[in-house]
Structure 1
C-alpha cells in the first residue's frame, strides 16, 4: 500500500473511492494493531503464540510499528480533513457527524442511496414508538456499562447517581436529570429516558414507584398499579404508568436495558420502513479514530504531552473544557476509544489487541462489564411527600441476556477446520485449539 498510495491520487472530495488518504488510514490502524499485539501479547504470562511464529509478533518490533502508525496519522491530520463541528449543539453534532453525508471528518465510507442500495439498520433498531413498519424492531439495547463509560463534564467518572451514600434512592425532578452534564457523545450515541428522536420525545419509563411499608415498591405494569387501590390511581392521575418504549424485561421488540441506540439510526422519513429503508453511509475511517490512533501511538512512544493534546481535542468537541485531561493514562485512552467509537466495530478488536478481552469478558456473573445490565426509571407516586411526581432509578439485570460474556483465551484466534489441516500439512493449527 505504501508503494501505490501516490498512484491512487489525493482527491479528498470522494468519500467512497480509495485514495491516498484511505491508504494512510489503513496504515494508521494496521500499524497500531501490530504494535499493540507485539507489546501486549508479549506481556502476558503465557503469550498466545505458535512455536514457528506463524502467530505472534516479536515484542522488539512494537516501537517501529507505533512510529509507522503515528507517522501515517500525522500525515492524515495535516491533510484536508477536519473534525466535524457544524452544529453548536455538541450532542446533536456528534450524531449528525455520521448521519449526514456532509462535513469533512469521514475519510472513507460505504455509501447507500434510496432506490439503488439501502440498508435496514433503522428498521431493526429504531425506537419502538417511532417505527414505520409493523415488522420493525428495536434489536440493540445499549448496556448500562457503556452509558456509564461517558464521563461527566466536570471530570467525574460516569457512574450514574441512582442511590445516595446510605443506599437510598435519589429522586430527580425530571426523568433525564440523572444524565445531565454528561459527555455530549452520550446523547449522540444513545437514546435514554427523557431524550428525543426525530424531534419527538421518547416514552421510556419502566413503571411507577409507590411507598409501601417503609420502602419503595417498583410496579412495572399498569394493571398491577391499578390493583393497589383507588387512592393510588387518584394520586397518579395524569401521570404515565409505563412508557410505550419500555423498558421491558425479556422482550425482543423494545429496549431491555432502558436505552436505545441513536448512532447510525437514520432520522430520515421512512428510514425504518421496508419499502424505503435507510441510506445513511457506513464510515470505515474517520478523523476521530485517527486522533485516537495518534494519541495511543505517541503515548506508547513516551510522547505524553502530544498524546494528551490529541485526547483533549476530541474531548473539547464533546463539551469538556479545554485541557480537561492533565495526566494522561492508558486507561483514559482506552475509555476515550470506547465512547468516541462506540458501535463503530472497534471495541471487540481493541480488547483483543490489548489482550484484555479475556479479562473484561471474564464470564463472571457479578462483573458489570461481563454482564449486560440496564437502568429502569420509575415515576414516584407518594401523595404529600416531596418526592411525589419525581423519578427514581433501579439497576437491573435483564433476563434476556442469559449469561455473562465469556471470552476464552482460545478466542484470540479462530479454529482451523481439521479438513483444511488435512488438505495442507503446511498449515499450522492456531494456538489453544
Structure 2
C-alpha cells in the first residue's frame, strides 16, 4: 500500500495527497499537537506556520552551501579540490537546475491548505486573515515563478487535491500549463494581493506590497524576454506552449513590468531607495548586504539569519580570506574566487570598457607602486564585490601575491608561504609567497588572485563554524527594481526613461557621467545587470531568458585574446575562469625593483569549458513522472 501511495503521489504531483491527515499538513513543532481550528485561532501560531513556509521557498542559491552555485558560469573559480569538477566538465547535464517534483508539489499542497484554512478561520480578525492570505498567495506565486524559470510550463494546482482511494487516481492527473499561463498567474496574483500586504515594513523577511510588486516586475520582464528573444531558438519550444512564449506578447509583458516597477519607484509601496549610508562608495556597496538597520531602505525582501536564534549560515566560514580565517588550520576559507573575467567587466569611470592593464600596448609589463593601482579608476562596485590584492578584511591587510618575478621573467616562489627562501644572489631567507595565495593547487587560498567580498561578514565569530554568520540573503532589492524598469523601458522604446533609472544605479557606484538615451543599448542592459547583481543568482536566468546562454557558454576554450576583447558585449564568450596574479618584481639593478607586476593566469585545474546545450534551457523531467502521467509532455531536446 505504501508503495502504491508513493507512486500516486509522485506521478500526479499532489504532494502528500489524501494519505495525510489534515492536522498533519505542516511539521511545525509549535502546532503539531493543535487542531486546525486551534492553530488558526491565534495569530502567533499562524506566524509560526508561515515561518516554516517562508523558509522552504525554492532558491537558485542561498547561504545553505550555496557558494558552489555561485562558483560556476566562469564568474569565479572554486578553490576546493572537491569542487574542481565545476571547471573540468565540458558542460551541464540536462537535469541541472531542475526540481524535485514530489517535494515541490508537497510544498504547494501545504500552501494551498494554508490558504484554505486561513480563509475558513473564524477566530482570527479580518485584518490578520487578509494579511495571512496574501502572504500565502505570495509564497505560492513566487514558488511557481521559481519553478517556471527552471521547467517552463508545469501543472498549475491551486487547491489541495485529495485522493479518494477508489483505485483510479486518473482524475488527479493534470497536464502542464503553458509557460505563459504560469507567468500570467504569477503576475495576476501579485496584482490581486499587493494592497492586502503592508507597505514597507521593518520586518523585511515577510512579504510586503513592495515584494509583490518586485515579483510582478521581475516575472513580467522574464516573460517579455522569452516572448521576444525566444524566436532566436526555435528548437527550444513545444507545440502546446508548455515551453516558449509566442512572439507578439512581449509588449504587454514589458508594459506590465515597467508599471509594477514604477509603483515602487514612485513610492506607492513605501519609501524604498538606494543604499547610500557610507561615504566610501566601495565600502557602501559592500555594506548594503550587511546592514540590517532600518536605514537600509534598499532591501525589499530577505531571507534573514539570526545568530541568537540559532539560524546562521557558513558563507563567511567557507569564503573568508585564508589569512583571516577563524577556524583552526584555516581549512574553511577561500573557496569562492571571483574570476578576472568578471573583474574586467567593471568599467572605467569614464564609462569605457577596458581590460585590467597588466601590460602596455606593446605587451611590456607595467610596474605598479601599490598593488591596488592597477584597479584605480574603476566602477566602485568592483571593490565592493571583490576583495582585490592590496586590500583588507576585518581591518587586516591581506597577503595576496604569487611570488617574485625575476629580471629574466622567471618566477621564484614556493608552494608553502611559511617556507622562507633566500632570493637569487642573497643569503637571507624571506617570504616568497603570499599567505593568501595564489599558487596552483593550494586549495582554500585564492587561485584567481581575488576573494569574494559581497556577503562576507566581518563580525567576530562569523567565520567560525561554531558561530556562523547572520548576514541576510536579499531576494528582492531596489537597485534590481530600477534595472528591471530600465530594461522594460528600453524594450518599449523609452530610452530616456531607461537612461534615468540606469544612471541612478550607476551614480551610486561612482559612475557620475550619465549615459545618454542613445547610449542605452541591449549590451548596456546586459552588462549593468551582470556587475550590479553579481553573485545574487541572476546570471543564469538572465542569459536563459535572453536566449544568450548557448552563445556565451559555447563549449570552446578561451584564449587571452578572448578574455581581453569585446568587454561589455552581451555575446562575449565566458567559458573558463581566468585569474590575475600579482608578483613582486626582483631586480636590484632596476628602478622598478620591489614594484608589482601582474600576469594573466588560467588556473591549472581549469581543463573544461562551459557548454550550454539547448536542452539546458529547460530542465529534464524525470522519466518516472512522465511514464506515470502521460499528460506530462517531455521537454524539447530531452
- The aligned counterpart of 2:604 is 399
- Structure 1 unaligned runs (5+)? none
- The aligned counterpart of 2:550 is 358
Pair 1:323 & 2:496 matched: no
The answer as to whether partners of 1:41 and 1:47 remain within 8 angstroms in 2 is no
Alignment match of 1:260 (pick from 446, 451, 474): 451
Q: Distance in 1 between matches of 2:203 and 2:503?
A: 29
- The aligned counterpart of 1:347 is 539
- The aligned counterpart of 1:417 is 622
The answer as to whether partners of 1:12 and 1:21 remain within 8 angstroms in 2 is no
The answer as to whether partners of 1:63 and 1:301 remain within 8 angstroms in 2 is yes
Pair 1:217 & 2:405 matched: no
- The aligned counterpart of 2:334 is 138
Q: Distance in 2 between matches of 1:266 and 1:33?
A: 32
Alignment of 1:221-370 (within 5 A): 221=414, 226=421, 229-231=424-426, 240-325=431-516, 327-366=519-558, 367-368=562-563, 369-370=574-575
Pair 1:112 & 2:342 matched: no
Render the CA deviation track for 1:67-86: whole Å, top value 9, x for unaligned.
00000100011221010000
Q: Distance in 1 between matches of 2:208 and 2:247?
A: 32
The answer as to whether partners of 1:372 and 1:404 remain within 8 angstroms in 2 is no
Matched residue of 2:364: which SS? coil
Q: Distance in 1 between matches of 2:407 and 2:420?
A: 12
Matched residue of 1:432: which SS? coil
Render the CA deviation track for 1:282-310: whole Å, top value 9, x for unaligned.
10000010011001000000000110111
Q: Distance in 1 between matches of 2:611 and 2:244?
A: 23
Aligned pair count reads 425
Matched residue of 2:498: which SS? helix
Render the CA deviation track for 1:382-432: whole Å, top value 9, x for unaligned.
112121111111111102233111111110011112111110001111000
Matched residue of 1:109: which SS? strand
Q: Distance in 1 between matches of 2:474 and 2:415?
A: 43
Alignment of 1:135-174 (within 5 A): 135-174=331-370
Q: Distance in 1 between matches of 2:619 and 2:596?
A: 47
- The aligned counterpart of 1:194 is 390
The answer as to whether partners of 2:235 and 2:636 remain within 8 angstroms in 1 is no
Q: Which moved more, 1:347-356 or 1:367-376?
A: 367-376
The answer as to whether partners of 1:247 and 1:254 remain within 8 angstroms in 2 is yes
Alignment of 1:65-104 (within 5 A): 65-79=253-267, 80-102=271-293, 103-104=296-297
Matched residue of 1:375: which SS? strand
Render the CA deviation track for 1:107-166: whole Å, top value 9, x for unaligned.
000111113211110001000001111241211111110000001112231410111111
Q: Distance in 2 between matches of 1:220 and 1:374?
A: 17
Q: How much does 1:266 deviate?
A: 0.7
Matched residue of 2:192: which SS? coil
- Structure 2 unaligned runs (5+)? 1-188, 564-573
The answer as to whether partners of 1:183 and 1:319 remain within 8 angstroms in 2 is yes
- The aligned counterpart of 2:318 is 124
Instruction: Report the TM-score, using the length of structure 2 for normalisation.
Output: 0.65
- Computed over aligned residues only, the root mean square deviation of the Cα atoms, in angstroms, reads 1.7
Distance 1:130 1:227, change over 3 A: closer
The answer as to whether partners of 2:496 and 2:516 remain within 8 angstroms in 1 is no
